[in-house]
Amino acid sequence: MPLHAVISQRRIALFEAWKADSFQQVQVENIEDLRRHAFLDDLDLEVETEKSGRRSLKNAIVVRRDGNPDTNASVWVRASYSGYQKAWLGFVKQVYKIDAKPADLAGYNIDHLLNRARSPGGAGFIRIEAINDQVNQAWGRMFEKAASNPEFYANQERYGRKLSWLIAAKLMGQMPPRGPSDQQGINRLVSFFNSQGMAQDNPREGLTNMLEFAYRFR
């Protein structure tokens, strides 16, 4: 299977899981939390955690169970770990048997779904996935920069975070609004989520609340 097909299938699988259960985690404090929260559809199921290649479990963790790896396997790295791209490539080799190289990721960044600057002291584990590079960098310049302000209590204390409306938009290749006053950008994201059958979840309220909160210090 081509690497880009794996990337596409994985992002769609995570998005669909989030639509079914909005408590999908993108950050956990430790390996025990990861075993408990990686799969929300069956909390009693035995979950395996293993190294990503030769990397220490202190830095990178592969979590998986039987079944389709798009929905049943993921890789998480310590927020301060610098080898996250190699960890993701190691995960793909380990789980999908694809021996990909950094050059094969042209057009993509390996992204911490939650900006690692939001993880207190560089601790905790964050899920990583391949994201369109232009989209990822735009989110980094805008929303993620604002949301990473150390004045936010959560950025000092919280080690557990869920996949949010804005992270879901980034995951699915949607460009960010310029801020809470960018109604055109917000309308564009609302239209996207509505097209995915989520109108009843009130994406406008979720998006607006998150943007207003993140930009409060700017």
Per DSSP (E only), the strands in the chain are 25-28, 48-51, 60-64, 73-78, 108-112, 125-132, 161-162
Token pair for 155: 């950025």
pLDDT exceeding 90 applies to what percent of the chain?
Answer: 68
Residue extents of the structural domains in the chain: 3-214
Distance between CA 71 and CA 12 in Å, rounded?
Answer: 9
Would you give the DSSP letter of residue 40? S
3-class DSSP state of 24 = coil
d(CA 97, CA 139): 31
Averaged pLDDT for residues 158-186:
94
What's the pLDDT at 188? 98
Q: What is the pTM of this model?
A: 0.91
Structure tokens at 173: 């290749």
* Residue 183: per-residue pLDDT: 97
pLDDT in tens, 132-149: 999 999 999 999 888 887
Q: What pLDDT score was predicted for residue 218?
A: 64
Given a cut of 70, whether residue 214 has pLDDT beyond it is yes
Could you tell me the two tokens for 69?
A: 């790896």
Residue 154, pLDDT > 80, answer no
pLDDT for res 167? 97
Q: Is 110 helix (H, G, I), strand (E, B) or coil?
A: strand
Backbone angles phi, psi at 125, to 5 degrees: -115, 135
Please write the tens of the pLDDT for every residue from 63-101: 988 899 999 999 999 999 999 999 999 999 999 999 999
Model pLDDT, residue 55? 76
User: What is the structure's pLDDT at 29?
Assistant: 85
Cα–Cα distance for residue pair 202/36, rounded to 1 Å: 29
Q: Name residues whose C-beta falls within 8 Å of residue 26's C-beta, 6 or more positions apart in sequence.
A: 113, 114, 126, 127, 161, 162, 163, 167
Reported residue count of the chain is: 218
Segment holding 134, helix H or strand E: helix 133-141
Paired tokens of 130: 């391949």
Q: What percent of the chain has pLDDT over 70?
A: 89
Strand partners, 28: 125
Q: What are phi and psi of 99, to 5 degrees?
A: -90, 75
SS3 state of residue 125: strand
